[in-house]
Structure 1
């Protein structure tokens, strides 16, 4: 009986080895095709249950990750933030409420519509709001200057309002939000949606799409926005050395992570890092939190990344496929599968992967994509037809072909793995 058991185990390992070799051979052949000749590609595919590397190619080389960076941001938020987002820190003295921003992006955001601050501020005669407790510049290092007026590049701040963007909704009779800026919006032929360093906005008369334009979040605008909400109640002041005694909380943290990942929302990603820094200090500094987690929870990374922002907008970011697989493995071991997969875009169904990697018939890819000019990467989880969960990172840099052509090549690889391993 014992001999039969060992024979069965031996045959099982042999079968697994044959499948691994078959998959490895297929991927190698694909990567050796002429399509990949003039680009830089790295792949790592890992089986966490058996602790086996199914395939590795340039896995320890550094790549421009684009929005794959948000995987590290997700991990950081999950490590430091509580179940609900810290909306702001505050202290009360008689009829005056003093508030210190934490970077919570949900306040009056078009999707979250959180009103925690508004409801609380109404209960006090005077509100002192401190917003200069942030060391981050409004834009991240290496961000393209010409993106200042684009929806995907709002300014970072300590007390965001309305997602730090102005919205023009043409389907609702050109409804402008926040309304107080209505007179700042003009019909004008312009190559930009907003004047540089100024809250004067432009849109084309024949443009019928929803327009989202970043605002300049200086103290003048914040004062104007609060005077519109609560006239003559909120005063903007410089940073206080006094320690805040309490913390108010807003939306569930998971809802913030999910929105960031599904929509690849750069603003939410940046603010999540700022938020996590608020758990270490009243001074907000995303650099501090990145350094802290890299020397603690992520000190075992085989290759330490060059990590400069939360969103991946910067081309200064450099990560390896191995680093992504290591962090994805940590997430897989620390978080229940249903909750974890709920954060990620789903192939053929949800988020940025809605039009790619469709399952047959059920979804098999749960992953974060990263796209910036001439670069496309995908890192996450692949479920095979045999029920195995594989962790992968497939990174492509410096190609001159169409991004969709790269996706097609990758999809061929993923489908083969799904069906044959």
Structure 2
């Protein structure tokens, strides 16, 4: 009798779950079939994190331009390649000279990261030889928009970045130009661009704006000059390190970079994380080394192999499927403690790029990474339902002409339906 009762209960539960999934599928299908979505390309996958059941699937095996959803793959790469503290630099001491090699660490003198480990280490030295030959990548990623060279979100990649490879210009402060090396390279007038394309000559109209962040052109000459001014010592640039075993100086906690990467959608940190990851598996700082290692060794069983060319998602060459996004999100969900994972991802209505969207009734119900380019908006992450379930999802929208706020509003309505009914 007891066995019959339990069997009946199980049937009722399964019937209820099936009915709920059908309701969700019908609701999402109905919405995504409206004229609003007619002329754009939309891919969606919702999966129960525990049972692995698919709640809804539309075009999830098709390729989309992911924009900053690419950073989910960058995060996974870094988490599985880098130690708990970031390798700040590698060095060999020979006689009275310290030979130093960059690792791609973005935190050196970074205005927001505030880590001084490497700076204090170098400050004690009198003779420093900086090897720059291990950086063998382009300053911009493949497919980046060339006209973005003077915008804050598009700093150049480099092997030994300083100040985030950005000049910070502020009005009415004690240090109006940071780094100070560029103080004589700022013209106080309005201009259609913030910097000369091929020169470190900047334009800043203090009457129109209080703060401006402008990427500077990187080079060995500029790096040498900035370091000499900050460290107050002579720097010699060399192409190669001397023979011998290199030691590693470890700096900022890795999670500090991961939180900024995801919350602020920091493109510079994304690019440098792939260079850092390459430095852990090879002696060359090259983005493709990290990407190849991840696809071949860390994620060999992706449902659909992506076209992946950079760390940030600035490139429109990137192509990923919603199904592959969910695959990596599931790996993160299994491999990381829930509290740590949800701290790294922005939360709806609370933090990062989701501060103004997907707000919960009392606590966040969305933990996800957004991705935006012109006419594209994607969101991939985790949805917590009122019944205590976790849903892993990827919702990708390409080629729409609506304002992105209308896309987000429609998505939010669908998320709330799943939250309230599943």
Q: In which range does the TM-score fall when normalised by the shorter chain? A: over 0.9
Q: TM-score, normalised by structure 1?
A: 0.98
Are 1:368 and 2:387 an aligned pair?
A: no
Question: How many angstroms apart in 2 are the aligned matches of 1:243 and 1:295?
Answer: 30
CA contact (8 A) 2:82 2:277 kept: yes
In the TM superposition, what is the alpha-carbon distance from 1:401 to its structure 2 partner? Answer: 0.7
CA offset digits 1:303-337 (Å, max 9, x no partner):
00000000000000000000100000000000010
Moved over 6 A (4+): none
Partner of residue 355, structure 1: 356
Question: How many angstroms apart in 2 are the aligned matches of 1:67 and 1:159?
Answer: 24
Any gaps of 5 or more consecutive residues in structure 1?
none
In the TM superposition, what is the alpha-carbon distance from 1:403 to its structure 2 partner? Answer: 0.3
Question: How many angstroms apart in 2 are the aligned matches of 1:5 and 1:288?
Answer: 55
Question: How many angstroms apart in 1 are the aligned matches of 2:175 and 2:79?
Answer: 38
Question: How many angstroms apart in 2 are the aligned matches of 1:90 and 1:104?
Answer: 14
Partner of residue 10, structure 1: 11
Question: How many angstroms apart in 1 are the aligned matches of 2:113 and 2:98?
Answer: 24
CA contact (8 A) 2:126 2:233 kept: no
CA contact (8 A) 2:224 2:237 kept: yes
Question: How many angstroms apart in 2 are the aligned matches of 1:403 and 1:308?
Answer: 25
Question: How many angstroms apart in 2 are the aligned matches of 1:332 and 1:182?
Answer: 47
CA contact (8 A) 1:100 1:244 kept: no
Q: How many residues align structurally?
A: 421
Partner of residue 201, structure 1: 202
Comparing 13-22 with 240-249, greater Cα deviation is found at 240-249
Partner of residue 279, structure 2: 278
CA contact (8 A) 1:164 1:215 kept: yes
Q: 1:244/1:221 Cα in 2 relative to 1: closer, same or farther (>3 Å)?
A: farther
In the TM superposition, what is the alpha-carbon distance from 1:51 to its structure 2 partner? Answer: 1.4
Q: 1:171/1:338 Cα in 2 relative to 1: closer, same or farther (>3 Å)?
A: farther
Question: How many angstroms apart in 1 are the aligned matches of 2:103 and 2:245?
Answer: 12
Partner of residue 329, structure 1: 330
* Aligned ranges 1:62-81 → 2 under 5 Å: 62-81=63-82
In the TM superposition, what is the alpha-carbon distance from 1:95 to its structure 2 partner? Answer: 2.0
Q: TM-score, normalised by structure 2?
A: 0.98
Question: How many angstroms apart in 1 are the aligned matches of 2:36 and 2:336?
Answer: 38
CA offset digits 1:221-277 (Å, max 9, x no partner):
111111112334321111236344210011000110000100000000000000000
Comparing 197-206 with 239-248, greater Cα deviation is found at 239-248
In the TM superposition, what is the alpha-carbon distance from 1:156 to its structure 2 partner? Answer: 0.2
SS at match of 2:101: strand
Partner of residue 118, structure 1: 119
- CA RMSD in angstroms comes to 1.1
